[in-house]
Amino acid sequence: MRVLLAIGCDSYDHADLLHGAERDAQRMYDLLIRPEVGEYDTNRSRLLLSPTCGDVREALREALFTEPQPDTFTFFFAGHGSVSAGAFYMWLRDSNQKGLSMSALSLADMFRSINEATPLQSNIVIDACESGGLIQDLGALLKPGLLGNVGSPGLTLLATAAQDQVASESPDGGFGTVALLECIEGHDFVQDHKGMLDLVEIGMRVSQRLRASGQNPVVWGLNLFSPSGFCKNPRYGTDPAAPLRQALQAWPTGSNDVIRQNYDALWAAYSATGGVWNPKKFSAVVREVLSPTMAPEVLAILADRLAVTLAQRGLQARDPFRRAEVSATLAVSLLSSIEHLSVADTAQRLIDHTCMSLIDATSALIEDLKADRYALLSDRKGVLSELHELPLRLTRVLGWAAAATFICSDENQYTQAAAQFATLVSLVLEHYGGSLTALNDAQAAGFCITLSACARLGLRNEGELLVGLLFNSLIQCEGRIARDDIPGDRALEYLLARHKSDYSKSMDLVARPIELLTVIFKAATLFELEEIFDESLWKIDGVAFSAYLPNSYTSYGASLMEGGENLVWQIGFDVFRTAEFSASWPVAKAVPESSLVASLALAASLLYPDRQAWFLFD
């Protein structure tokens, strides 16, 4: 059963009157109750206009605890809201600032009631009116703990608030509600590949619209246990009259156990997506949840759901590239099951999303760099850590911007991505030439893609300059670059050793063999620099370098690949000239099976830089 409780409160005994809240609730109720939109039960659903606190508690009790209990519960509130003593309150007719806990509806109380009733899916929509940073406060108050433990229901919350009630209203109603209604009615596009709309998806679209007017809505929740059943998707191509229930019943339950097992880790990943980011931990959680042993349909749906939720969360990160990293990680985790059509469809959608996010992020970066040449420096307190971080950051920035030119499936996007990449390379060379240095073997993946893109796009001078800078710095440090998994607390030790050219106490931090030199040699051939490089090879006599060629590029999403070949060379042993390396490069056992696999393998190399997209050089 689907139950809706819509509340609009214009009249207050102890607060200023509002004028549009009742109208917003009425419109939301009228729309969602329609069978072709929300299919909420007309007998159990309620619309309350300027009710008292007692009225609302009674309605909540009826909605949640009367048999049969709802499997989907949607709550809509328009009216005053406030934060007091660390709790968020929705104001009702008789609410009073003195004693809000007794006279208003607290969000925490509602969470507790939902937890007790355990509907499969709960949607909470709050369109609150209050001055000040209400929504930022609410964002800070929301914690996974509010939802209880693993068996708790799926819950999604969308909250909007305007700092100024007058400014937040159009003749049609509050901006937040109007934006929401337009998504539900299909006037505003959310997606067209699924029969249902998830409140997170709608919230993401609403966020984009409201940000333009200075509002920053909160979309919160990690609902992975049930179908995304907020309302039907009017933009979905199949029979618009097909009952929503039919679509909801198609939700596979095979994923529930794996979600339960990783519940805490998923929440940690959810929080990290908008905050302190650890790509390795995130990848580990995603790999665990999106296990190839899962039924392909379940895998595809779960990846889709995670993508929607985490992409929204990624908007809150300070790194504009975060969304791209998140969707790429999800896409790459599908690589080993790519032969299934449903998985391939989802993976393609995620790669398309990655590409769009990369174009957005690169555009933001170019704008920032034009305004401030130091925009790529971190603003955290550890200044000297930039000596270690900046060269790696430049590699990532260039690598991802270059990746967009390879993975886009749309001509317009390609043109845009190519132009952005050319601009970015030029800006980075102009402002950060000194930090384009061979420092860590993790740079191999980024430069593999960057240098290939330079060659492909005809950026010959830029490519030559980049590979020249890398080669010279590699010669200067005698090929002793750091290993790709150097612990953060030993990076300073490596830098000091490198500065003094004395690695005697830090030899375990030096990568052996290195893949960056292999990338440099491959690029030397692209840019016809072999003879120039050959003159200095004696200075890195003894340096070993390598390449891993897989049996199949569909294994590129695994943390450890098996069955491929580790090719190894050594300067002064089997290679004295670049040509000797080129001549010994074997015919690849495997090439990417499709352009999708190539895109995913390329993204995998940026996410897990212990593997390279060698096929780009073929």
Q: Which residue ranges make up the site for other proteins (CB under 8 A)?
A: 211, 216, 276-278, 315, 318-321, 360-361, 363-365, 367-368, 374-393, 396-397, 431-435, 437, 487-493, 495-496, 498-499
Cβ nearer to other proteins, comparing 134 with 343: 134
Query: Shortest Cβ distance from residue 609 to other proteins (Å)?
Result: 12
Cβ nearer to other proteins, comparing 471 with 553: 471
Cβ nearer to other proteins, comparing 90 with 438: 438
70 DSSP 8-state letter:
P
3-state secondary structure of 129: strand
Find out whether the peptide bond into 586 is cis, omega within 30 degrees of 0.
no
Cβ nearer to other proteins, comparing 172 with 368: 368
Cβ nearer to other proteins, comparing 394 with 455: 394
The answer for residues whose C-beta is within 8 angstroms of residue 458's C-beta and 6 or more apart is none
Cβ nearer to other proteins, comparing 112 with 499: 499
| 386 dihedral zone (left: phi>0; alpha: psi -120 to 50; beta) | alpha
Query: Shortest Cβ distance from residue 604 to other proteins (Å)?
Result: 17
3-state secondary structure of 93: coil
CA angle 375, 376, 379 (to 5 degrees): 80
3-state secondary structure of 302: helix
- How far, rounded to the nearest angstrom, does the alpha carbon of residue 171 sit from its chain's CA centroid? 35
Q: What is the rounded distance in angstroms from the CA atom of residue 582 to the CA atom of residue 547?
A: 13
Alpha helices in 319-459 (DSSP H): 322-332, 341-371, 386-407, 411-432, 443-456
Burial class (CB in 10 A: 0-12, 13-18, 19+), 122: buried
Cβ nearer to other proteins, comparing 141 with 567: 141
Query: Shortest Cβ distance from residue 419 to other proteins (Å)?
Result: 15
Cβ nearer to other proteins, comparing 83 with 495: 495
Structure tokens at 11: 């009249």
Q: What is the rounded distance in angstroms from the CA atom of residue 382 to the CA atom of residue 424?
A: 26
Taking each helix axis from N to C terminus, what angle separates 411-432 and 443-456, rounded to the nearest 10 degrees?
Answer: 120
Cβ nearer to other proteins, comparing 21 with 359: 359
Q: What is the rounded distance in angstroms from the CA atom of residue 174 to the CA atom of residue 162?
A: 9
Query: Shortest Cβ distance from residue 277 to other proteins (Å)?
Result: 7
Cβ nearer to other proteins, comparing 234 with 279: 279
Q: Give the CA count within 13 Å in the CB-facing half-sphere of 614.
A: 25
Kind and range of the H or E element at 222?
A: none
Amino acid at 552: S
Cβ nearer to other proteins, comparing 432 with 556: 432
79 bridge partner residues? 128
3-state secondary structure of 98: coil
Query: Shortest Cβ distance from residue 179 to other proteins (Å)?
Result: 16
Nearest of 224, 250, 253 to residue 155 by alpha carbon: 224
Structure tokens at 414: 């390609």
575 DSSP 8-state letter:
B
Cβ nearer to other proteins, comparing 1 with 387: 387
Query: Shortest Cβ distance from residue 382 to other proteins (Å)?
Result: 4
Query: Shortest Cβ distance from residue 228 to other proteins (Å)?
Result: 25
Cβ nearer to other proteins, comparing 363 with 525: 363
Query: Shortest Cβ distance from residue 130 to other proteins (Å)?
Result: 18
Query: Shortest Cβ distance from residue 215 to other proteins (Å)?
Result: 11
Nearest of 133, 121, 197, 195 to residue 159 by alpha carbon: 133
Q: What is the rounded distance in angstroms from the CA atom of residue 323 to the CA atom of residue 201?
A: 14
Matching residue, tokens 């830089």: 609
Cβ nearer to other proteins, comparing 237 with 382: 382
Query: Shortest Cβ distance from residue 356 to other proteins (Å)?
Result: 11
Query: Shortest Cβ distance from residue 433 to other proteins (Å)?
Result: 8
Query: Shortest Cβ distance from residue 488 to other proteins (Å)?
Result: 3
For 223-279, give the DSSP string: --SS---SEE-TT-SS-TTS-HHHHHHT---TTHHHHHHTHHHHHHHHHHHHSS--H
For 418-460, give the DSSP string: HHHHHHHHHHHHHHHGGG----BTTHHHHHHHHHHHHHHTT-H
**Do the strands 169-170 and 121-129 form a parallel or antiparallel pair, or are they unpaired?**
unpaired
Cβ nearer to other proteins, comparing 439 with 602: 439
Kind and range of the H or E element at 178?
A: helix 175-185
Query: Shortest Cβ distance from residue 387 to other proteins (Å)?
Result: 6
Query: Shortest Cβ distance from residue 319 to other proteins (Å)?
Result: 6
Structure tokens at 55: 């009225």
Query: Shortest Cβ distance from residue 323 to other proteins (Å)?
Result: 8
